[in-house]
Amino acid sequence: MTIRISGTGSALPQRTVTNTELTELVDTSDQWIRERTGIGERRISTGETVAALAADACRQALNMAGKTASEVELILVATCTPELLLPCCGCQVQSMLGASQAAAFDLNAACAGFLFALDTVYAYLKAGIYRNALVVGSEVISKLVDWSDRSTCVLFGDGAGAVFVEAANEDVICENGRTAGVEALLQGADGSKGSVLSCQERPVQNPFLPEQPEACAGPYVHMDGREVYKFATRQVPACILAALEQAELTVEDVDLFLLHQANERIIAAAAKRLGAELDKFPMNLQRLGNMSSATIPVLLDELNRAGRIHKGDRLVLSGFGAGLTYGATVLVWG
Ligand code: COA
């Protein structure tokens, strides 16, 4: 048994915010942002919600797969920016789609969330618990950004991406001889580095505390950019190599590396460490910035719709995020 991604979709807010517009908010410049990150512009919600973006992306994925909402058995939404704490975003999406037969829940592994969700769905499908699932990464991270903090506000954007995944009972052998499906996956976390990238929300607070806590500083993303940079440039290539080793493959066996779109320099450094050509690392961060868990599925959808992914291509999806979390999945497109 293996899995097949039979549909992809993505949804972005209407509003584009350029680097030049950000210079009106904070002391920065288009040149600084481009040189240090590669980002030129991003989409920012002016009302689009995490749930609505997720549902739009799911509709497209279902459409491509030729499936109706009533056929969906599971909806797993990776997000760290849901509108509501209760109910979860997955249930909102289920209702918006009318996918009444689907179980639904959320998963938070920050920017690595989509990968963790895909791996989770792979395990469910492999165990025979469900036969298909919508896997989503959706974020409106702009609401967690302190728009007076130049070290973070220039990095992020909003958006959603989704894939429809189906269990395949029989092996699908591609023309190039490769068997379609997941070949290896690896997930990791280093909770001791949690403070390097964090966002406070709800400290313990009730009338029974011996002392009332100080007011929360604000639910904004706080980041030690250099530490995150060091972690990502070391951990992402190491994780990719370990996943490839699991599948008894080498870097040369990979057609495309779809990395979390946080920073062009991080991606270039990972490519260098792996000894791979940078043109195997497609990017859209120039247009979209870091959309957290949405970056990988949006990139996947863009490449798929542009005809840049073919049956038999071997892809490595890899990302990192707050936690700190990281992961890599090796799969053959079928
Ligand atoms: N515009 C202009 N100057 C800025 C700035 C901005 N938007 N943000 C920071 N600076 C300044 C800093 O204050 C610092 O000034 P100083 O030297 O006077 O103190 C200077 O630029 C250099 O800052 P530094 O943090 O060393 O820059 P950097 O080269 O490390 O780049 C990041 C900063 C954030 C782009 C980089 O560290 C990074 O990408 N880290 C990873 C972040 C990430 O991916 N987070 C999401 C994870 S999912």
- Dump pLDDT digits (tens) for 194-247: 999 999 877 787 878 888 777 766 689 999 999 999 999 999 999 999 999 999
Confidence check: pLDDT of 91 > 80: yes
Least Cα distance to 38 among 221, 278, 256 occurs for 278
**Which pLDDT score is estimated for 80?**
96
Q: What percent of the chain has pLDDT over 70?
A: 99
Confidence check: pLDDT of 300 > 80: yes
Ligand 1 center to 32 CA (angstroms): 9
Largest CA distance in the chain: 68
* 32-41, 101-110, 186-195, 212-221: segment of lowest average pLDDT: 212-221
Q: What residue's CA is closest to ligand 1, atom 31? A: 36
Query: Catalytic: 284?
Result: no
Confidence check: pLDDT of 268 > 90: yes
In ligand 1, the atom with minimum distance to the C-alpha of 226 is 37
Contact 297, 58 (CB under 8 A): no
When pLDDT is averaged across residues 301-307 and rounded to a whole number, the result is: 98
**Which pLDDT score is estimated for 217?**
64
**Which pLDDT score is estimated for 169?**
83
Q: What residue's CA is closest to ligand 1, atom 2? A: 28
In ligand 1, the atom with minimum distance to the C-alpha of 321 is 48
**Which pLDDT score is estimated for 212?**
79
For tokens 């966002």, name the residue.
Answer: 199
Q: What single letter denotes the amino acid at residue 64?
A: M
Query: Catalytic: 304?
Result: no
Q: Is 105 in the pocket of ligand 1 (CB under 6 A)?
A: no
Instruction: Give, as one character, the DSSP assignment of residue 256.
Output: E
Cβ atoms < 10 Å from Cβ of 185: 20
Q: What is the pTM assigned to this prediction?
A: 0.96
Confidence check: pLDDT of 154 > 80: yes
In ligand 1, the atom with minimum distance to the C-alpha of 262 is 44
159: left (phi over 0), alpha (psi -120 to 50) or beta: left
What is the CA angle 86-92-98, rounded to 5? 150
Q: What residue's CA is closest to ligand 1, atom 48? A: 321
Ligand 1 center to 216 CA (angstroms): 25
Could you tell me the two tokens for 143?
């609401």
